[in-house]
């Protein structure tokens, strides 16, 4: 069984790297995260100077916001690739050869899940190279403290890697449940770029809705990492304090994200993966 899973993982990794989409997504993640991180580091540095030496912008809050852009703006990449790992088989009708090579569908699903998590972690490294590498440089050039020697910073980095791996699992689960590639991509874009941000903004208005909103996937991811655009900006701006008043602890955020991935994987295994393949 272990050997079969290992072969399945190797086959999935080889299948992904034989295409161009994985490195194209990686370049998009690198460029976009670098831009956002550098912009925030520069903006917050200038803003701190304008406010009188940056006394209202603690170095910890600035560093957390800048470094967490790897996940807060980059998490779409691993979840998208995770979905493509499954849906591309249906789109290109390669699922039949895959199941002929390994008839045990549980092994195939496990292999795809591990591959999705592995690429999620890889994208985490790429995103962090951009957010921490360039972000820390801009903070330092602006006279700030990038806090690279802080244990809290490295804890955030490790949790960001875990979050990106979990997002890869979420993508595999969603791709297996939906199966249709176009539908999966549209659902991901609509939810991550429009629906959830609106729900988090509106939910922050009332205390009861903020309590519910903290269980949204993006909010759970921010909680796991320990920072994010919503939470960190709220910490910097007292008028937006409601955005982070109801936040999960890091381990609770990790459990919520892991539970979401597990539910999607189980549902896909119990539904789509049980169907006959033409």
**Is 178 inside a domain boundary?**
yes
The yes-or-no verdict on residue 242 having pLDDT over 70 is no
Q: Which of the 8 DSSP states describes residue 277?
A: P
Joined together, the tokens standing for residue 33 give 């995260």
**Is 61 inside a domain boundary?**
yes
The answer for residues whose C-beta is within 8 angstroms of residue 38's C-beta and 6 or more apart is 134, 135, 138
**Is 274 inside a domain boundary?**
no
Band of the pLDDT at 102, cuts 50, 70, 90? confident
**Is 276 inside a domain boundary?**
no
Joined together, the tokens standing for residue 143 give 């006279």
Query: What DSSP element (H or E) covers 41?
Result: helix 21-50
**Is 243 inside a domain boundary?**
yes
Q: Provide the residue range defining the domain that includes 53.
A: 2-269
| Rounded CA separation 229/73 (Å) | 8
pLDDT for position 50: 59
The yes-or-no verdict on residue 58 having pLDDT over 90 is no
Asked if residue 261 lies in contact with residue 169, where contact means CB atoms within 8 angstroms, the answer is yes
Q: Kindly state the average pLDDT of the residues 107-111.
A: 93
Which one has a higher pLDDT value, 215 or 49?
215
Q: Which of the 8 DSSP states describes residue 129?
A: I
The yes-or-no verdict on residue 144 having pLDDT over 90 is no
The HSE-up count of residue 83 (CA atoms within 13 Å, CB side) is 24
The answer for residues whose C-beta is within 8 angstroms of residue 210's C-beta and 6 or more apart is 203, 204, 242, 245, 246
Average pLDDT along the chain: 88
The two counts, helices (H) then strands (E), for the chain are 15, 0
pLDDT for position 128: 98
Number of folded domains that form the chain: 1
**Is 275 inside a domain boundary?**
no
**Is 152 inside a domain boundary?**
yes
pLDDT for position 54: 47
| Rounded CA separation 238/172 (Å) | 38
Q: What is the pLDDT of residues 152-210, one digit of tens each?
A: 999 999 999 999 999 999 999 999 999 899 999 999 999 999 999 888 888 777 777 77
Asked if residue 81 lies in contact with residue 16, where contact means CB atoms within 8 angstroms, the answer is yes
């Amino acid at each position: 069984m272990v050997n079969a899973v290992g072969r399945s993982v190797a086959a999935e990794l080889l299948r992904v790297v034989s295409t161009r989409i994985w490195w194209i997504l990686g370049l998009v993640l690198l460029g976009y995260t670098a831009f956002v991180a550098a912009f925030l580091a520069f903006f917050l540095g200038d803003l701190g100077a304008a406010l009188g030496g940056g006394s209202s912008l603690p170095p910890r809050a600035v560093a957390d916001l800048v470094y967490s852009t790897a996940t807060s703006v980059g998490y779409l990449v691993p979840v998208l690739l995770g979905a493509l790992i499954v849906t591309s088989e249906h789109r290109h009708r390669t699922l039949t050869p895959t199941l002929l090579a390994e008839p045990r569908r549980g092994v195939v699903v496990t292999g795809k899940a591990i591959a999705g998590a592995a690429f999620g972690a890889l994208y985490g490294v790429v995103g962090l190279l951009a957010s921490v590498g360039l972000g820390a440089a801009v903070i330092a050039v602006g006279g700030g403290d990038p806090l690279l020697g802080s244990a809290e910073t490295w804890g955030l980095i490790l949790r960001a890697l875990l979050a990106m791996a979990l997002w890869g699992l979420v993508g595999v689960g969603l791709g297996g449940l939906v199966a249709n590639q176009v539908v999966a991509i549209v659902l991901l874009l609509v939810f991550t770029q429009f629906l959830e941000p609106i729900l988090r903004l509106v939910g922050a208005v009332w205390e009861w809705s903020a309590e519910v909103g903290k269980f949204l996937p993006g909010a759970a991811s921010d909680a796991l990492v320990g920072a994010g655009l919503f939470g960190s900006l709220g910490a910097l701006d007292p008028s937006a304090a409601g955005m982070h008043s109801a936040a999960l602890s890091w381990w609770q955020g990790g459990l919520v994200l892991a539970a979401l991935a597990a539910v999607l994987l189980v549902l896909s295994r119990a539904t789509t993966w049980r169907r006959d393949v033409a």
